[in-house]
Structure 1
Amino acid sequence: MDVEELARLVDEVPGTEVSIETGVLVARVPAIGDAVRLAAGDVLNHDLILAPDGRPGVELGVRRGHEELPLIITVDDVVFMPAYAADMLEKGAEMTVPSMPNLIAYSEMHRDVRALGRAIDDPHLELEPEILAATLLVHRCFLAGAVRVGLWPVRVAAWWEYTWARVGAGLPVGPFRPDPEWDRLMAAVTEARRHAAAVEETEAGAVP
């Protein structure tokens, strides 16, 4: 399958905004504010499906190293497999992981990571350090899984980074393995915040 055939396949899903940019498929899903970016040569399998709500979608098998990762694009969401917790941490690092889903929807990831980021500022909320550490690790697995299949979840990562900056020090988790892709994502979070602050400052200065 070449990139144009892949684009036609994904374009069968209503609501997606499909384009080809420098030979790579870009499938934007406005409902989640993100896009899947895939090289056609990395798509091993493909099927048109019906989502649980009866609307059409497409399921792809994406090659990453020796693995084939599932990726489902629906009308208003993208479903993918979280990364493995053991792959996030240095060998022998502390790790307590609660049960993790085999698949996670982007909207669910955003909801859960944002909810923890908001809850962490609640003075009445008490979370055991072990539970908080495990939850942050699982959320990082969600984000890394999204990046693996061509998503770039900057807004979600910003919530994770906010929570980690507030409570990460001293939690029984880590150290994390070096990960250049994660570093790029965190740099994108920093740049997005800088841009938002600049826009806010400009708008404030324009008020008479």
Structure 2
Amino acid sequence: MRGARVAYNGRMRSEELVGALDGLPGVEVSVNGDGTVTVDVPAIGDSARLDPADVLNCSHVASPTGAPAVHLGVRRGHEQLPLVVTVGDVVFMPSYAADMLVSGADVRVPGAPDMVAYSEMHRDVRALGRALDEPEAEFDPEMLAATLLVHRCFLAGAMRVGLWPVRVAAWWEYAWARVGAQLPLGEFRADPAFDRLLADVAAARQGAGT
């Protein structure tokens, strides 16, 4: 994706971020009382909440399909993470598998993408959960462990750029509850943010009566 880039040397203001995103089809942008900006994408059922001060640069680009998009560089600690907001979707970088597991754990991951679209994440995580319900389904334990780890990387990556993927996490938690204890996978690191996400999953299920 290429396009015109606008760099910000000082604090980016809320109205500047709103202006950069305004007009993208399928995206609703609003400013919160604390000055953060909510980027709501109804098609995926989620919103990214961003502090304008953490947005280091933005570019108006075209997605691989030719649809308009905005590429943001989002500061997280000493890193700059890419976040692409496009028509009805967002694209982000998954977290690293080694950051998901306790130190010293054996990490075996199949080819994971450098970037993943939210819609693709939801599709893949849901598909695995449904596949586990197939009576005749058989899975290689190592491949299944690696796939669940990659999906956890997707979720962590989404959360790092301000998303809160409750519905996707519900499918991941369902799959993990079904087979996680049987898999050759190291222990996950403590992650209070992920624990809060799963608490919201539990609350949503309770509210839905499931």
TM-score, normalization: structure 2? Answer: 0.92
Paired with 2:100 and 2:80, the residues of 1 have a C-alpha distance of 19
**Deviant stretches of 4+, over 4 Å:** none
Show structure 1 runs of 5+ residues with no match: 201-208
Q: Is the 8 A contact 1:95 1:172 kept in 2?
A: no
Deviations 1:11-55 (A, max 9, x none): 131221110112110010111111111000100110011112222
Paired with 2:124 and 2:67, the residues of 1 have a C-alpha distance of 24
Paired with 2:19 and 2:206, the residues of 1 have a C-alpha distance of 37
Q: Secondary structure at the match of 2:105?
A: strand
Q: Is the 8 A contact 1:113 1:139 kept in 2?
A: yes
1:175 is aligned, of 181, 187, 202, to: 187
Q: Secondary structure at the match of 2:40?
A: strand
Instruction: Please tell me the root mean square deviation across aligned C-alpha atoms, in Å.
Output: 1.0
1:54 equivalent in alignment to 2:63: no
1:142 alignment counterpart:
154
Paired with 1:94 and 1:171, the residues of 2 have a C-alpha distance of 12
2:25 alignment counterpart:
14
1:28 equivalent in alignment to 2:68: no
Paired with 1:12 and 1:68, the residues of 2 have a C-alpha distance of 25
Among the aligned pairs, what percent are the same residue?
65
2:198 is aligned, of 169, 172, 186, to: 186
Paired with 2:19 and 2:45, the residues of 1 have a C-alpha distance of 21
Deviation at 1:170, TM superposition (A): 2.5
Paired with 2:88 and 2:100, the residues of 1 have a C-alpha distance of 29
> Which of the two has greater helix per residue?
1
Paired with 1:122 and 1:141, the residues of 2 have a C-alpha distance of 25
Q: Which moved more, 1:20-29 or 1:147-156?
A: 20-29
What amino acid does structure 2 have at the position aligned with 1:2? R
TM-score, normalization: structure 1? Answer: 0.93
Show structure 2 runs of 5+ residues with no match: 1-11
